[in-house]
Amino acid sequence: MLNDGKNPALFFSRMSKIIEIFCSNCGSKLWIDSESGEILKAEKSTKKTSPSLEDLLKKEQEKKEKADERLKQMHSLLETKKKKAAEIFEKSLKNDSGE
């Protein structure tokens, strides 16, 4: 079977008659002799497997905590701006009434 570009997981070499199979799920590779069916080489993927549920939950909890912290900072900044605006308003009222 020749690789027609539609199936990148399978590669066939006519000269050596070795089939290279790539698992798109785990990233492992197998080299198989097409005549004997013998596995010539097996290579496990070095990529990290899917994260565990606990890892995903921990990551989401960290995101939530960061978002909560940003919300608190924004609230604090808004309160500071409101106080400053109120002070400026009070000053301008005093200046207008003092003239």
In the Cβ-directed half-sphere of 63, how many Cα atoms lie within 13 Å?
6
pLDDT value, residue 37: 83
pLDDT value, residue 49: 66
pLDDT cut 90: percent of the chain above it: 34
DSSP state of 85: H
**Strand order from edge to edge, sheet including 10-13:** 10-13, 18-22, 29-33, 39-43
**In terms of pTM, does the model score above 0.85?**
no
DSSP state of 9: T
CA distance 93 to 17: 92
Beta bridge partners of 79: none
Phi, psi of 10 (to 5 degrees): -125, 130
Q: pLDDT tens digit string along 19-46? A: 888 887 777 888 888 888 888 888 887 7
